[in-house]
Amino acid sequence: MPLVAANWKMNPNDAGDALDLVRGVLSVARGHADRVEVAIFPPFPWLLSISEVLAESGVKLGAQDCFWETSGAYTGEVSPAMLKGWCDWVIIGHSERRIVLGETDEMVAKKTVAALGCDMGVIMCVGDRIEQYEAGSSDQVVEAQVTAGLANCSADDSARLVIAYEPVWAIGTGKSADPEHAYRTMRLIRRVVGDLIGAGAAKKVRVLYGGSVNSSNVESFVELPLCDGVLVGGASLDAAEFAHIVKVTAEVYGHR
């Protein structure tokens, strides 16, 4: 089933606005739950109240990050054990964490295996920067990130593993990647995952596109043969816009 994920990032600032936003997408998301898996990734402080709104809806909840240790003296960190049970998913290695907070491939690998070990699904993000894209080294960058990020994973993790290709130059810029480029990179990701955990298991790993996805361009990505859905940032903060993205995805996959 395709996955449409809403990465709210550090928004909204108000608890009431967060609840309004999730209620605004709930009926459409629930109505398509048999054809599209929808997952909402709010900031940590809103997770609990949103989990109550989403209960029994079939719409999934996720965190935007987690730490790799279970507990201990790690001021400010949130462990996967704390999220387990009420978060279905966690995003690991988003480029904003890699670039702004200095998260390394090694940290991504440790967080990924820790979250999987707590029975959560992981959306591991990979992506090239503009200078790498312009230098023609996107493939090497993405291959290295996938290889390092999955260092501790095995075929057993495949059903709960998602890799999102998010070119850094497409995130929040309004300039999404050319679908042909996205397709070639998602094909590369699948090949690399196959080399790492076996081709059979790699088929179960879902591969998403992310970067300036909106209701007008979503079809051009979800109709790509190897695309299993989208990771949506800015457009997920508008309930009507995000609901439309879910609807289009359901229609496209319904025709496959």
166 binds ligand PGA per the rule CB under 6 A? yes
211 binds ligand PGA per the rule CB under 6 A? yes
Count Cβ atoms below 10 Å from residue 51 Cβ, excluding itself.
Answer: 17
Round to whole Å and give the CA distance between 38 and 31: 11
168 binds ligand PGA per the rule CB under 6 A? no
93 binds ligand PGA per the rule CB under 6 A? no
Round to whole Å and give the CA distance between 248 and 245: 5
| Residue among 196, 210, 228, 246 that touches ligand PGA (CB under 6 A) | 210
Count Cβ atoms below 10 Å from residue 15 Cβ, excluding itself.
Answer: 12
| Residue among 213, 239, 243, 246 that touches ligand PGA (CB under 6 A) | 213
Round to whole Å and give the CA distance between 130 and 173: 12
167 binds ligand PGA per the rule CB under 6 A? no
Shortest Å distance, C-beta 208 to ligand PGA: 9
Helix (H/G/I), strand (E/B), else coil: 206: strand
Is 166 designated active site?
Answer: yes
149 binds ligand PGA per the rule CB under 6 A? no
Shortest Å distance, C-beta 8 to ligand PGA: 10
142 close to 189: Cβ distance less than 8 angstroms:
yes
Nearest to 163 by CA among 222, 112, 224, 106: 112
Q: Which stretch binds ligand PGA (CB under 6 A): 14-22, 69-77, 227-235, 242-250?
A: 227-235
Shortest Å distance, C-beta 96 to ligand PGA: 7
| Separation in Å, CA 91 to CA 64, 120, 121, 244 | 5, 10, 9, 23
| Residue among 212, 215, 220, 249 that touches ligand PGA (CB under 6 A) | 212
Please give the residue ranges that form the binding site for ligand PGA (CB under 6 A).
7, 166, 171-172, 210-213, 231-235
